[in-house]
Structure 1
């Protein structure tokens, strides 16, 4: 990703202005979590923070007015969609990307393929009602901490050992009924604590929610790339001819192969999410010269199409530029 290349460059030049540009580009996504009382907003926020940290996501439950600096809004429902949910989603979707999370997906019923499958079917129905994407989640399982007492109690129950009533209550508070049944079955099959945690996280569907948040924020992240490049170009002009050669070093960074190809990769991600065309990244580096040149020509034509947005034109230009760089490499390697 471009932000990774920029972070390495900033560390090398040790200039406060470049560092600020890099930190702004790589700032975590600000995700606001809200919903009706009792649907589990705090649990969902805690789960997203735990699972999203590796993806640059910072979530917080928010009550009252929406913060104007939020990047993505997660609206939580449970079991049903009420009129107040529809009104809230309609109001916020005009200002921010919105993802609706159907929390407590384990309560969707055990018919057919199980509660998660039933919840997914319900999500499709809710998406039609709300006009926004809906993803299922079992927030309690995704937000689990590493309580040794709880894991020990699961092992004792699985071994049919007597567990005090208070211990059973704590276990249900920790895992809930569905999670407890799942944990007992897994431990009975010899799962280690690490394997059990991985299973519970998978069943919680939190990773799919994180992926959807990333998809909704793809254009915002790409705009950050464009803003960072513009800021670096302006700084390079101001520092041209300086003793530390900062302007020259910025120019070299912006035209370096790794930088150009990282922008190609970021642009390809946005193309995929926006559904502009067939994803150009599959087999990208392994393609031959003809494929690289054909891709460059196709996206260059798209980049001058006045009917598309400025962001999408910039995206197409990055793909064309990166493809030409790959073409040049491939031609050089074949000689």
Structure 2
């Protein structure tokens, strides 16, 4: 990723202006979480705020002017006020709707998560924006230590056919709810460790898919940040070209370096996939052979001069073509040396 290459470069040059550019492009996405009362907005916000590259907060009234994306939380059904709110927000900002409490979708068929995903597809058609399931309580679990002890004791009591103390049941339900408690009891009964149980509960919460969708919705924003950073570095190099130090030369070398060009291609590829453009580069393309790199470069170079696409898409295509040519050159040299 370009942000990683720039961070390494900034650390090496130790120039405050370059550091500022690097920090700006690497700034976390600002996610604002809202929804009807009682659907679990604060829990969803707490869970998302722990994700890498995201700063999430619940909002009750006005959105922050620098918000990048809004997560609108619903539970069980879409109400008229949900449709109205999502329509108003989506006119200004990218919106992801989260169907929280997905474990309440029912246990028929393949289970609650499968049922929740089916509902999400239905709700997405109604709302016109993507909808993802989530179990916020499991995603925002603060500390498994207390719950771990409670679950182990519960399993032991059940095995001995002894009654479970009311207070212990209450603590477990407050921490994990019914679905999480059932998962935990089954997992501990199978010999899961605390770390394995924590991973299982996170997987069941579906939070990683929600985070991935947020990043996909913001792919163009992150790519624009890359373009802005490149423009700022180029401007700084021009300003420093007559200063007598080597900063301008180092910036120019950095921007032209193979690793930087390939990193920009990777960011452009993320945008292509997020936008759903046809024939997008697949993952793992760095390992392709010379023929694949060259054909990809030709295809995306043609796309970059297509007047029917937008400016960002043209620059994106040019970055993919340029990176592919660098990889083609590198693969050709390696092949010739064998």
Give yes or no for TM over 0.5: yes
Which residue pairs with 1:68 in the alignment? 65
TM-score norm. by structure 2 comes to 0.96
Contact 2:144 2:198 in 1 (8 A): no
CA-CA distance at 1:296 after TM superposition: 1.1
Which residue pairs with 2:139 in the alignment? 142
2:99 to 76, 87, 102: 102
Contact 1:272 1:278 in 2 (8 A): no
Contact 1:265 1:281 in 2 (8 A): no
Deviates more, 1:132-141 or 1:284-293: 284-293
Count of residue correspondences:
332
Deviates more, 1:36-45 or 1:236-245: 236-245
Q: Deviations over 1:72-97 (max 9, x none)?
A: 10000001111000000000101111
CA-CA distance at 1:163 after TM superposition: 4.5
Q: Distance in 2 between matches of 1:265 and 1:215?
A: 14
Contact 1:159 1:188 in 2 (8 A): no
Which residue pairs with 2:27 in the alignment? 27
Q: Distance in 2 between matches of 1:141 and 1:209?
A: 14
Q: Distance in 2 between matches of 1:84 and 1:133?
A: 17
Q: Distance in 2 between matches of 1:63 and 1:259?
A: 41
Q: Deviations over 1:158-200 (max 9, x none)?
A: 1116643222211111111111111111111111111111001
Which residue pairs with 2:172 in the alignment? 171
Contact 1:22 1:228 in 2 (8 A): yes
Q: Distance in 2 between matches of 1:163 and 1:7?
A: 54
Q: Distance in 1 between matches of 2:233 and 2:247?
A: 10
TM-score norm. by structure 1 comes to 0.97
1:151 maps onto 2:148 in alignment: yes
Contact 2:117 2:132 in 1 (8 A): yes
CA-atom RMSD in angstroms: 1.2
CA-CA distance at 1:283 after TM superposition: 4.4
Deviates more, 1:154-163 or 1:19-28: 154-163
CA-CA distance at 1:147 after TM superposition: 4.4
1:17 maps onto 2:14 in alignment: no
Which residue pairs with 2:3 in the alignment? 3
Q: Which secondary structure does the structure 2 equivalent of 1:170 belong to?
A: helix
Which residue pairs with 2:184 in the alignment? 183
Unaligned runs of 5+ in 1: none
Which residue pairs with 2:122 in the alignment? 125
Contact 2:99 2:120 in 1 (8 A): yes
CA-CA distance at 1:48 after TM superposition: 1.0
Unaligned runs of 5+ in 2: none
1:285 maps onto 2:265 in alignment: no
Contact 1:153 1:163 in 2 (8 A): no
4+ long deviations beyond 6 Å: none
